[in-house]
Amino acid sequence: MVKLNQKSYIAGSWIIPSSEVFQSKSPVTGKALATYNSCGLAELEAAASAAQTAFAEYRVCSHIQISEFLNTIAEEIESLGDQLLETADAESGLGIPRMTGERARTCGQLRAFADIVAQGQWVQASIDTAIPDRKPVPKPDLRRMMRPLGPVAVFGASNFPFAYGSVGGDTASALAAGNPVIVKGHPSHPATNELFCHALDAAITRCNMPRGVFSMLQGATHELGGELVKHPVVQAVGFTGSLGGGRAFMDIAASRPTPIPVFAEMGSVNPIFVATDAMSTRGEAIGTTLAASVAMGTGQFCTSPGVVVTTGNADFNTAVAKGLSETPRGLLLNDNIGNALVRAVKEITARSDVKWLNQVELSDSDTSTPPNIVLKTSAQDFLVDKTLQEEIFGPVTMIVECDNEQQMLQVADSFEGNLTATVHATDKDKTQANALLERLEQFAGRVIYNGFPTGVEVCPSQQHGGPYPASSAASTTSVGADAMLRFARFVAYQGLPDAYLPSALKNDNPLNLLRKVNGELTQSKILPVYTGV
């Protein structure tokens, strides 16, 4: 068992900063669990300096070295055993079964990126050989591939302490692409963050990696996060959290003397549309399953369905209300989430255009175990007031009732960016479903048919992102193989002699990659037609 020292981890050293103290707290009992000191500018500067030094060495590590490093991190996480599960459960209240599954996902992500790196194809090597005697202008030798950006700042999320935590998908994909990482650990689970640092420390030692390749700053202040994004060493940001937090980091990054990209996953209501025949033939069943999806994880998934668009059906409404009312209340992760939920529900249910279908008394004590809530409004009111589209993070969904199918399309046209959008339909709904699907792909990163958005399969074909405000970069994904492309950029090499080229672009193809050579995919070697002389 690892002995927790209640410190931050900076480039191989364990540090107790002199800044303010904060504590993690059990969502179950409300009692304090562990005490940590927030990092300040001195600790940030030390982590940034070490990351910059490490980048020079880490960026030129071979694909095999980085692959082994990622696999070793996964092994070290697993070697923490039950201590990691129990610590995360104490700080999050998510339960041992949930944490066990999330650990498997986290280690699976690391190993998946390790395989991608080992194969080498992710660099997208492309070669156009020279034609020195081309008329009227000679053609130069041009070769292009993806290269790492530099040190990446990662912000851990509260709702997934492992999969989006200190060594979650953002950290794993940034390391896979050849970048050092500085993590700002989430203050809700600092002891969990520390255990991950012990795993990283062991993996760095085993693989002889530069110490500055990973640092983790504990802290509960917003100022620390802002200063991290501002630091000139940091070249990109990975963030999962609220729209307010993500937008603040986007603005800070854009205002730097040298702006940097922020890859932020933010709010999403993940609308579900129920077509006419699907509603009449299986509306009650859809409503029951919808209730389970809304209540899953106490609604604290970024893919929780927060809006359901229908043409009105009393049995459907009853099924949703009954399913949510009968589902046991779950725990919210922290006081901030609970206070925001209670405040938002009180505000929206005070409106005359919103009805609470399964209403119960809501008190300030419900900030830890809120009721599962279904609201209802009309499409007419929904269309004229954009605030009804705002996410309420927790087990809350809103049914939007349309007068007809045409009004349902108008509602679809009104949505801003979302992570997902869903259509439930039958073969008889083909015309309506086609019209909806054409619209849904305009504002959603993942379009679902006869399913539910909760649950994100980690695989190469997954897209976890969407147009703003769901994420800050609609063309990227934070899940799946392409997540590492966020932290790399294309570099073209013109006229370089073979000896100076990266291995992926050399004539004899030492990595045995499938490369695009003069427009054709091939693993063949290239004759040295151009020497650069």
- Let me know: does 102 contact 454? Beta carbons within 8 Å: no
User: CATH number for the domain including 433?
Assistant: 3.40.309.10
Rounded to whole angstroms, how far apart are CA atoms 519 and 82?
52
Does 241 lie in the same domain as 113? yes
User: Which residues are designated catalytic?
Assistant: 265, 302
Residue 411 lies in a domain: yes
Does 293 lie in the same domain as 215? no
Task: Name 120's Cβ contacts closer than 8 Å, sequence gap at least 6.
Answer: 63, 504, 511, 513
**Average pLDDT rounded to a whole number, residues 157-167:** 94
Rounded to whole angstroms, how far apart are CA atoms 511 and 122?
12
Does 262 lie in the same domain as 287? no
pLDDT over 90 percentage in the chain: 93
Q: What is the DSSP-derived secondary structure letter of residue 334?
A: -
- Let me know: does 262 contact 249? Beta carbons within 8 Å: yes
Q: Which residue has the tokens 């459907």?
A: 316
Position 494 confidence tier, pLDDT thresholds 50, 70, 90: very high
Write out the H or E segment, with its range, that includes residue 228: helix 222-230
Q: Provide the pLDDT for residue 134.
A: 94
Write out the H or E segment, with its range, that includes residue 382: helix 379-384
418-424 and 272-274 as β-strands: parallel, antiparallel, unpaired?
parallel
User: CATH number for the domain including 52?
Assistant: 3.40.605.10
Does 138 lie in the same domain as 257? yes
Does 232 lie in the same domain as 95? yes
Q: Which residue has the tokens 């809350």?
A: 396
Residue 509 lies in a domain: no
| Residue 533 reports pLDDT greater than 80 | no
Residue 514 lies in a domain: no
Residue 456 lies in a domain: no
Peptide bond into 469 cis (omega under 30): yes
Does 329 lie in the same domain as 437? yes
- Let me know: does 460 contact 469? Beta carbons within 8 Å: no
What's the maximum distance between 2 C-alpha atoms anywhere in the chain? Answer: 83
Alpha-carbon torsion, ordered 13, 14, 20, 23, to 10 deg: 140
Residue 503 lies in a domain: no
Task: Tell me the per-residue pLDDT of 451-490, one tens digit each, with 9 for 90 and over.
Answer: 999 989 988 899 999 999 999 999 999 998 899 999 999 9
Q: Tokens at residue 389, please?
A: 């589209």
Q: What are phi and psi of 374, to 5 degrees?
A: -125, 130
C-alpha to C-alpha distances, 133 to 138, 140, 142, 367, nearest whole angstrom:
6, 10, 16, 74
Please count the other Cβ atoms lying within 10 Å of the Cβ belonging to residue 8: 28
Task: Tell me the per-residue pLDDT of 401-428, one tens digit each, with 9 for 90 and over.
Answer: 999 999 999 999 999 999 999 999 999 9
Q: Please give the residue range of the domain that contains residue 327.
A: 272-449
Q: Provide the pLDDT for residue 530.
A: 45
Q: Provide the pLDDT for residue 290.
A: 98
Q: Which residue has the tokens 């899953």?
A: 296
pLDDT over 70 percentage in the chain: 99
Does 221 lie in the same domain as 281? no
**Average pLDDT rounded to a whole number, residues 340-358:** 95
Which residue did the predictor score with more confidence, 395 or 19?
395
Q: What are phi and psi of 488, to 5 degrees?
A: -145, 165
| Residue 529 reports pLDDT greater than 90 | no
| Residue 362 reports pLDDT greater than 90 | no
Write out the H or E segment, with its range, that includes residue 102: helix 96-119
Does 386 lie in the same domain as 324? yes
Burial of 480 (0-12, 13-18, 19+ CB in 10 A): buried
Q: Facing residues of 521 across strands?
A: 516
How many helices and strands (H and E) does the chain possess? Answer: 14, 21
Residue 54 lies in a domain: yes
Q: Could you give the number of structural domains in the chain?
A: 2
Residue 138 lies in a domain: yes
| Residue 164 reports pLDDT greater than 60 | yes
Check the CA dihedral 314-320-323-327 and report its sign.
negative
Q: What are phi and psi of 13, to 5 degrees?
A: -115, 145
| Edge-to-edge order in the sheet of strand 181-184 | 13-15, 8-10, 214-217, 181-184, 152-155, 236-240, 262-265
Q: Which residue has the tokens 């991950």?
A: 196
Q: Quick one: which of 229, 86, 227, 123 has its CA closest to 488?
A: 123
Does 233 lie in the same domain as 307? no
Rounded to whole angstroms, how far apart are CA atoms 455 and 209?
34
Q: Provide the pLDDT for residue 531.
A: 46
Residue 465 lies in a domain: no
Does 287 lie in the same domain as 228? no
Does 206 lie in the same domain as 328? no
Does 276 lie in the same domain as 258? no
